[in-house]
Structure 1
């Protein structure tokens, strides 16, 4: 294959991928809590280019897609290359699962939800040591968080309103205002957390 033929093949591949690439890059970037500047620094792709890609205003080369996939630790080509209508099974290993750690270092949120739904549905495995506190800023208006306790006891504080939960119990609360989860007692906590972003327009 000549050099020009190879370049033409790469360009055609980039055009084919670009339709879904923007949304995919944006979802992955937000799932890892990365700003455009941070992703630009990690990938070596200019911030302005990433912004254009997310808005589907440019057809990036496969070299650019490869740099972004390396920075986001996922094969974008593989994800976009499969038809959404085809059956599939995805497996994420423990090593590949993103983890968010609280400021005090005692709470860990493993991102176990599907990255494609991160803009409207977020799902976490929550574990915390005794004395741990996970403080969160307000999410988008109408967002609701569901915390199901598997082990230990927690207290959730939403703008000064507090409620405790034990194993087998679930707390549902507005998270579109400042909120915190605190471990109560000497036992570690294990829970599942699901956040519905903009779940309802609540007056």
Structure 2
């Protein structure tokens, strides 16, 4: 990929982050800054006019694919308009006490939901801590969803559809999670990992 392509991808990533942060207000401001009607933005982005209208009124939570399409349609204006915007910098802090905890059926694996709850319909991520031998059995997610387990300490094994693979500290496993799957902490040592689940709603067409 050339320098121009890398810069464009970086701009699009910036756009997606911006749009996801102040969704409705940002999209409406960018659209009006370029004198675009809802119909024109719908035509340029491939996102239905009714959906854009709902997003601007904060009546719906768009998928990541929708955010990217709108970002692509508005990316030329993002940096310039933001530079003159009046929003304060966005930093949100969550305390340990405010972090929800999930526990596996055997009680040996704890998943702290460290991801943003507003994105949970399409992007989830967790801090995973397990005692030796801990097992986390999960049902199927939406078709096309993918999960990534990055091991920080110890060793984990993932089983999907009868196929198993192990990873130790510094290694990651990526796998389809749209079918029943299991994560196990193997060996005699405790394990820790970061788990990210990208649901179908976030997968680009």
* TM-superposition CA deviations, 1:38-64 (whole Å, max 9, x none): xxxxxxxxxxxxxxxxxxxxxxxxxxx
Cα separation, partners in 2 of 1:166 and 1:133, compared to 1, 3 Å: same
Question: Where in structure 2 are the equivalents of 1:40-51 lying within 5 Å?
Answer: none
* TM-superposition CA deviations, 1:121-145 (whole Å, max 9, x none): 1010001001100000000011000
One of 124, 133, 136 as aligned partner of 1:134: 136
* Residue in structure 2 matched with residue 125 of structure 1 by the alignment: 127
Q: Distance in 2 between matches of 1:173 and 1:129?
A: 23
SS of residue matched to 1:116: helix
Is the contact made by 1:143 and 1:195 (CA closer than 8 Å) also made in structure 2?
yes
Q: Give, in angstroms, the shift of residue 158 of structure 1.
A: 0.4
* Residue in structure 1 matched with residue 115 of structure 2 by the alignment: 113
Is the contact made by 1:112 and 1:123 (CA closer than 8 Å) also made in structure 2?
yes
Q: Give, in angstroms, the shift of residue 201 of structure 1.
A: 8.1
- The reply to whether residue 197 of structure 1 matches residue 202 of structure 2 is no
SS of residue matched to 1:130: coil
More helix by proportion, 1 or 2?
A: 2
Q: Distance in 2 between matches of 1:136 and 1:165?
A: 19
Aligned alpha-carbon RMSD (Å): 2.2
* TM-superposition CA deviations, 1:151-170 (whole Å, max 9, x none): 00111000111000000000
Q: Give, in angstroms, the shift of residue 23 of structure 1.
A: 5.1
Alignment TM-score, normalising by the size of structure 1 = 0.57
Is the contact made by 1:142 and 1:201 (CA closer than 8 Å) also made in structure 2?
no
Q: Distance in 2 between matches of 1:163 and 1:179?
A: 12
Q: Give, in angstroms, the shift of residue 200 of structure 1.
A: 3.9
Alignment TM-score, normalising by the size of structure 2 = 0.57
